[in-house]
Amino acid sequence: MRFLFLLIPLYFGTIQLFSCTPDRMFNLDPLVYKTQYPGIKLQKFSVCDISSDTTHKLIFLRSQKKLLWYQNNKLFKEINAVSGRGNLPDKSKEGDQSTPLGMFYITHKNPNSSFYRSLGISYPNEEDASRGLREKLIDLKQYHAIRSAIKQKKLPPQDTVLGSHIMLHGEPNSLNSLNFLGQLKSKAMTMINWTNGCVAVSNKEMLPLFETVEIGSTIAILP
């Protein structure tokens, strides 16, 4: 359901300002993911099929632990990244510690996060809202509130059972006492999925992301 955006080019009311020659095709074989993702049609697609309100696009390949940072449709950087410790193939509700799949955008920046800086991700999206309504996890009022926020490119309501506060962030500030370990600490933090559902990178990688990626930039989270 939430990967129907792969069937057609996505447009969030934006205009592609730069010509696009894909550096790679993302081939998510439906046969491979049939068991884990029943009913989802996964097709070949590229960064050119994704639109953004800015010149930045982020693609997180969850199973590969890679965050691809595109600028003007050109791959700028490939970053090691991890996700939620939950074992679910997709986020379902608050507390499942799983990272959601789908198409989102950056909603805000938080320099005073419990982690080394964070970028807000627009979870839940419209597909999550539709699923939540269908499964009676949210009511019609909450459904419309989520859709309204997304239409306005704002942060969707964070008080539903679908889950909240999904971010792209750095390492926990609580581990600053281990900074003497240097790269060893950062490497360990980007090898094992340890978050409660967020996407995490090293502090070294998070700083330029935080300073450069603009609010409204698209982030696609893929299997």
The pLDDT mean for the chain works out to 85
> Strand 218-222's sheet: what is its strand order?
74-80, 66-71, 56-61, 218-222, 102-110, 118-121, 167-169, 199-200
pLDDT digits (tens, 9 = 90+) for 122-171: 999 999 999 999 999 999 999 999 999 999 999 999 999 999 999 999 99
pLDDT digits (tens, 9 = 90+) for 103-117: 899 999 999 999 999
Give the whole-angstrom CA distance, residue 122 versus residue 156: 6
Give the whole-angstrom CA distance, residue 92 versus residue 96: 7
Where does residue 161 rank: exposed (0-12), middle (13-18), buried (19+ CB within 10 A)? middle
Q: Options 3.30.590.10, 2.30.30.30, 2.60.120.10, 2.40.440.10; which CATH number does 4-222 get?
A: 2.40.440.10
What is the structure's pLDDT at 119?
99
- Section 87-101 average pLDDT: 89
The domain segmentation of the chain, as residue ranges, is 4-222
- Can you give the pTM of this predicted structure? 0.84
What is the structure's pLDDT at 198?
98
